[in-house]
Amino acid sequence: MKLILLGAPGAGKGTQAAVISERYHIPQISTGNIIREALKSGTEMGLKAKSYMDEGKLVPDDVVIGIIKDRLAQPDCESGFILDGFPRTIPQAEALDSMGVVIDKVIDIEVPDDVIVNRMSGRRVCEKCGRPYHIVNLKPKVEGICDDCTGALIQRKDDQIDTVKARLDIYHRETEPLKGYYEKQNKLYVVEGQNSVEETIALTMKALEA
């Protein structure tokens, strides 16, 4: 099964993709994670992407299309995959089509902007081990300190409120038109994602089995 997960940043695509990946035994391909890994290991592509990422902007199409081309050529993608965070623009979707990749379904996770702003701007991560927290919904036992490793809790640069708003603007402008693109191909399934993770998973599974 070849799938795409669409949705605004913070809509919970990563969580849904991980569950789908496990249930259907297909790899989860997240361009955001691939870029973050490249950044950590200091590759040229990672360094090129850093300034875009920090400002909440999209990395240029040719860079991410190159990443996806390489990744989809790996043998574990032969029987299917779930794309999480790609495509994010019409040219990226067109590139996928022109690679001859036939997508079965596109799941669009819909979450209102105000819920996303609340989720993302309240998010904190441990600077040592990366464990995620939320200042209202998922507090640590001691404010500002990781329960697991006592590392300091910090806010990711791209989770700061102005950056979140900039990312949402870009999403509405550049990525949302993909809904129409895939609706025309009769592949779009819309899932409400503002409730609990479990409820969203149930709706996603229903869409996949439809």
Query: Would you please indicate which residues are annotated as catalytic (active-site) residues?
Result: 13, 88, 123, 156, 167
Decide if residue 58 touches ligand AMP (CB under 6 A).
yes
Q: Report 88-127 residues binding ligand AMP (CB under 6 A).
A: 88, 92
Give the interface size with ligand AMP as a residue count (CB under 6 A).
16
**At 33, is the secondary structure helix, strand, or coil?**
helix
Decide if residue 81 touches ligand AMP (CB under 6 A).
no
CA angle (139 as vertex; 136, 145 as ends), nearest 5: 135
Strand order of the β-sheet with 132-134 is 132-134, 123-126, 153-154
Among 52, 101, 115, 139, binds ligand AMP (CB under 6 A): 52
Q: Report 12-31 residues binding ligand AMP (CB under 6 A).
A: 31
Q: For the CB of residue 33, give the shortest distance to ligand AMP in the complex, in Å.
A: 7
Binding mask 143-182 for ligand AMP (x = CB under 6 A): ------------------------x---------------
Cα distance between residue 140 and residue 144, in whole Å? 7
Cα distance between residue 183 and residue 204, in whole Å? 17
**At 99, is the secondary structure helix, strand, or coil?**
coil
Give whichever of 33 and 137 is closer to ligand AMP, judged by the CB atom.
33
Give whichever of 34 and 153 is closer to ligand AMP, judged by the CB atom.
34
Query: What is the distance, to the nearest Å, from the Cα of residue 30 to the centroid of all Cα atoms in its chain?
Result: 6
In angstroms and rounded to an integer, the radius of gyration of the C-alpha atoms of the chain is 17
The residue at minimum Cβ distance from ligand AMP is 32
Instruction: Judge if the upstream peptide bond of residue 27 is cis by omega within 30 degrees of 0.
Output: no
**At 22, is the secondary structure helix, strand, or coil?**
helix
Which residue ranges make up the site for ligand AMP (CB under 6 A)? 9, 31-32, 35, 52-53, 56-59, 64, 85-86, 88, 92, 167
